[in-house]
Structure 1
Amino acid sequence: MNIISGIKLVTFDATNTLLKFRMPPWHYYALVAKDYGYTGTETEVKERLIDSYRFMWEKYPNFGKNLIPWDKWWQKVVARTFEGQIPQGKDAEITKILIEQYKTSKLWCVAEGGRQLLNILEKRCINTGIVSNFDPRLHDILRSLGIIKHFKFIVTSYEVGCSKPDKKIFTHAMKRCGLVKPSECLHIGDDVKKDYEAVIRAGWRALVVQSSDTPMAMTEKSPACEHIFPNLLTLAKSIEKSDLKF
Structure 2
Amino acid sequence: MFPNKIKLITFDATNTLLKFCTTPWEYYSKVASENGYKVSEDVIKDQFYKSYRVFSQEYPNFGRETIHWDNWWRRIVHATFNDQIRDTAAINRIATALIEDYKTPKCWCHAKGSLELLRYLKKHGVTLGVISNFDPRLHEILHKMCVHSYFKFVLTSYEAGYSKPDRRIFESAVKLSSAPVLPHECLHIGDDFKKDFEGAKGAGWHGILVRDNKSSLEQLNPKYQCLNLIELKGRFHSEKMFL
Q: TM-score range by the shorter chain?
A: over 0.9
Distance 1:147 1:164 in 2: 22
Residue of structure 2 in register with 1:198 after alignment: 199
**Secondary structure class of the residue paired with 1:77:** helix
The aligned amino acid for 1:59 is E
Worse overlay, 91-100 or 32-41: 32-41
- In the TM superposition, residue 104 of structure 1 has moved relative to its aligned partner by 0.8
Distance 2:106 2:83 in 1: 29
2:226 to 221, 224, 229: 229
The answer to which structure has the higher helix fraction is: 2
- In the TM superposition, residue 217 of structure 1 has moved relative to its aligned partner by 6.0
Asked whether 1:25 is paired with 2:27, we answer no
- TM-score, normalization by structure 1: 0.92
- In the TM superposition, residue 44 of structure 1 has moved relative to its aligned partner by 0.9
Residue of structure 1 in register with 2:56 after alignment: 57
Asked whether 1:102 is paired with 2:129, we answer no
The aligned amino acid for 1:197 is E
The aligned amino acid for 1:167 is R
Counterparts of 1:33-112 in structure 2 under 5 Å? Answer: 33-86=32-85, 87-112=87-112
- TM-score, normalization by structure 2: 0.93
Distance 1:84 1:100 in 2: 23
Distance 1:216 1:100 in 2: 36
Distance 1:240 1:92 in 2: 49
Q: Runs of 4+ in structure 1 displaced over 6 angstroms?
A: none
State whether residues 190 and 211 of structure 1, in contact with CA within 8 Å, keep that contact through their aligned partners in structure 2.
Answer: no
Alpha-carbon spacing, 1:211–1:57, altered in 2? closer, same or farther (3 Å): farther
Identity %: 44
Counterparts of 1:151-230 in structure 2 under 5 Å? Answer: 151-178=151-178, 179-211=180-212, 218=217, 222-230=219-227
Q: CA-to-partner distance for each residue in 1:121-144, whole Å, 9 max, x for gaps? A: 111100000000000111111111
- In the TM superposition, residue 243 of structure 1 has moved relative to its aligned partner by 6.8
Alpha-carbon spacing, 1:50–1:41, altered in 2? closer, same or farther (3 Å): same
- In the TM superposition, residue 211 of structure 1 has moved relative to its aligned partner by 4.0
